[in-house]
Structure 1
Amino acid sequence: MINMTPKALIRSDLFRYEGKSNFKVFLKLFLKNPYFRFQVYLRMTRSNNFVISSFFKVLKAGLGRKVNVQLSPKVSVGYGLYIPHGNIVVNAKTTLGHNCSLLQFVSIGAMHNSDAATIGDNVYIGPNTNIVGKINIGDNAVLGAGTVAVKNVEEAMVVVGSPAKSIKQVQNINDYAINLCSEEFINKAGK
């Protein structure tokens, strides 16, 4: 993962939600959307200031219980995270790439306290999807609703079912995920 400030990460997350990243849009979304607010708290837990980091860990834990999102500050999370709904559980040993979309009822777990999944960049994880074990999900992959992934998912593939099976190649990830952040946007947001 690239080393970015919490502010730059929050701007990238805001862009994923709204396609813009100015203060007015931030304030409106922060006040009305508890899932975005959770992400702000999550990003601020990575502050270099111990007091600020600790304060936001408390806020994140409380709001996480309310919106039912379990995503530890220990999880390596790239820029442009998108969580539009709750009921999400992510194992602390998971790695989430850039521009990941986690929809409702997603569970990413490990088997017997081992490492968890490594999720690539621009990955769309649909509703009610389970990812189990130390597997790799390739860049630009799409996991359809209700998928159970227990084996690696190739790059730019759409998988569905239980167990997950590839059904087609992704032609354009933008058909599945909105407002993906580009490297140019990230460079503007600052590191």
Structure 2
Amino acid sequence: MNLTDAPARDDIRSDLFRYTGRTDTRALLRCYRQNRGFRFQVWFRLVDVPNPLLRRLARWRRNRLAERYALHLHPKTQIGNNCNLSQFTTIGATGDSRAAIISDYVYIGPSVGLVNDITSGNDVMIGAGAVVIQDVPDNATVVGTPGRVIQRDAPPERRKTLWPLVPMPAAPAQP
């Protein structure tokens, strides 16, 4: 029986590589034990796996970790590859609308709020305490309340560890 599907496994390996620069089992166990952010992301990635038992466990565990580490994510939030969510992050939406779409290589600093159904570009950095209420372009740095772009076309050298990207699934059409 296969407990995870390939996209979830690849996303977890991508996250592990970003944290440690390695993808072996020892690195996985050590990083899971020592890093809260990685632990949360593992369970976040497992929420939509086909195995119903693992999916249910992942939802319960993700919610427990989110309460403990103050990460609040809308259930419809989409998070791309090589993203970092810091503590006290809130990603929400109004009502039953679409939630935020976080693209690849996004760093979200501590105490950040992403409000409404915004879309972040690739290679984005969002500074601590920012409240983002509108879409963010590629290669931008955002700070402040409300969030404003202070730098565009930031150099891609800020990526420390790279992992081959897995294409994001298309968002479902709204009726």
Q: TM-score, normalised by structure 1?
A: 0.72
Q: Quick check: 1:133–1:150 contact (8 Å CA) kept in 2?
A: yes
Q: Quick check: 1:122–1:173 contact (8 Å CA) kept in 2?
A: no
Task: Report the secondary structure of 1:137's partner residue.
Answer: coil
Offset, 1:139: 1.3
Task: Report the secondary structure of 2:81's partner residue.
Answer: coil
Q: Quick check: 2:37–2:85 contact (8 Å CA) kept in 1?
A: no
Give me the whole-angstrom Cα distance separating, in 2, the residues matched to 1:46 and 1:137. Answer: 22
The amino acid that maps onto 1:158 is T
Q: Quick check: 1:15–1:179 contact (8 Å CA) kept in 2?
A: yes
The amino acid that maps onto 1:169 is R
Match status 1:179 vs 2:161: yes
2:61 to 56, 59, 62: 59
The amino acid that maps onto 1:12 is S
Task: Report the secondary structure of 1:31's partner residue.
Answer: helix
Q: 1:64 to 1:159 in 2, by over 3 A?
A: closer
Offset, 1:22: 0.5
Q: TM-score, normalised by structure 2?
A: 0.78
The amino acid that maps onto 1:162 is T
Q: Quick check: 1:141–1:170 contact (8 Å CA) kept in 2?
A: no
CA deviations over 1:1-25 (Å, ceiling 9, x no partner): xx83433222222112111111111
Offset, 1:43: 2.9
Match status 1:92 vs 2:80: no
The amino acid that maps onto 2:51 is N
**Considering only aligned residues, what root-mean-square deviation do their CA atoms show, in Å?**
2.3
1:113 to 96, 102, 117: 96
- Gaps of at least 5 residues in structure 2 are 167-175
- Gaps of at least 5 residues in structure 1 are 69-86, 187-191
Count matched residues: 162
